Amino acid sequence: MPYKVLIVDDSTFFRRRLKEILARDPDLQVVGEAKNGKEAIEQARILDPDVVTMDVEMPVMDGISAVKSLMASSPVPILMFSSLTHEGAQATLDAMEAGALDFLPKKFEDIARDRKEAIELLQQRVKAIAKRKSFSRTGIQATGRPRFAERVAQGKPPPPPAAKPVFMRSASARNQYQVLAIGTSTGGPAALQKLLCALPATFPYPIVLVQHMPGTFTSAFAERLNRLCHINVYEAQGGEILKPGVAYLAPGGKQMLVEGNKHAARLRITDTPKDRAMPYKPSVDLTFESVASVFGGQVLGVILTGMGADGREGCRKLKEHGAKIWSQDEHSCVVYGMPQAVANAGLSDAVYSIDEFADNILNEMRG
């Protein structure tokens, strides 16, 4: 049975093109259309879709309000479409905080010109998050969206990050670890927010973060994390010396590399090397490989939810140096792609749900 799709957008052209593109995939069936959030809620109740594609800016009821309402009444996997502006990024992150699982930049040119890469990406993303509904129906609770989304849907503010005890680094941990490295993609914003918000301000190691996102989105996402978390979170600019208690988010459209030595490691932001064919900008593989070259085995590497296999080879390089690798479990992933690739390659030393990562990181890195 193909996955049922509901398309929500106020643009007649965009709805028509999405329908044509999704209809090419035998695993997808467009069962309905809506031109605003109010119609989307009504159509979702009648059609019971497996996935909804949702525009952010619409008349009558905007996409964020529609997401909140759907999550409160009839939860369904939602893929947001958003403009590549800072404001569009903020709105999309608001929608994901409300319960949407993933997003794609709204590029009319790619849709109009029928670019093969854009078409395949759209079809893959829709199918990937549609599986979450099927997965949850097996009796396993889907945890792709953060718990506080339920509070938002009810008109309540998200709870503040829970206070954590002061983190004291033991001698054994000081010898074993120097950095925490985290890579993620689809479903990553909610997963990273949950994990990082649980770390105390006294976390004594630098953190390097790679999240597959466009440039305007990584900037907005870093700002949001910095407001919510006890630790400091910044979009990396290049030239920074890694400092304890600071998380550095790789900028979208670029590669983030760690250089120098473990006593004075610094970041370099660059384009993808000409001798490397990397589909992702930023790439978890490239960042993790550079971390391995500087810190050797004194790294805890974490792979969270995401499509594809980015991070597997970077984890392999870290393991060759003696580093420890953890991956997210299937039940709590929005898309069990990247963690599965790492686990299937025999590179994962432990598998945790997203709710378990922070406490286990604190316990592990204490020594």
Q: Which residues are catalytic?
A: 185, 212, 310
Distance of CA 321 to the CA centre of its chain: 27
Looking up tokens 């305007």 gives 216
Strands of the 78-82 sheet, one edge to the other: 28-34, 3-8, 51-55, 78-82, 102-105
Closest CA to 52 of 271, 324, 87, 42: 42
Sign of CA dihedral 318, 324, 330, 333: negative
Size of the chain, expressed as the number of residues it contains:
367
Residue 215: half-sphere exposure toward Cβ, Cα within 13 Å: 7
Cross-strand pairs, 276 = none
Neighbours of 38 (CB within 10 A): 16
How are beta strands 207-211 and 102-105 bridged, if at all?
A: unpaired
Neighbours of 274 (CB within 10 A): 6
H-state helical runs in the chain: 12-23, 37-47, 63-73, 86-98, 108-113, 116-136, 148-153, 171-176, 188-197, 215-228, 284-295, 312-320, 338-344, 357-366
Buried b (16+ CB within 10 A) or exposed e, 183-209: bbbbbbbbbbbbbbbbbbeebebbbbb
Whole-angstrom CA distances from 179 to 64, 103, 269, 365 are: 36, 30, 18, 10
Neighbours of 107 (CB within 10 A): 14
Backbone φ and ψ for 334, nearest 5 degrees, come out as -70, -45
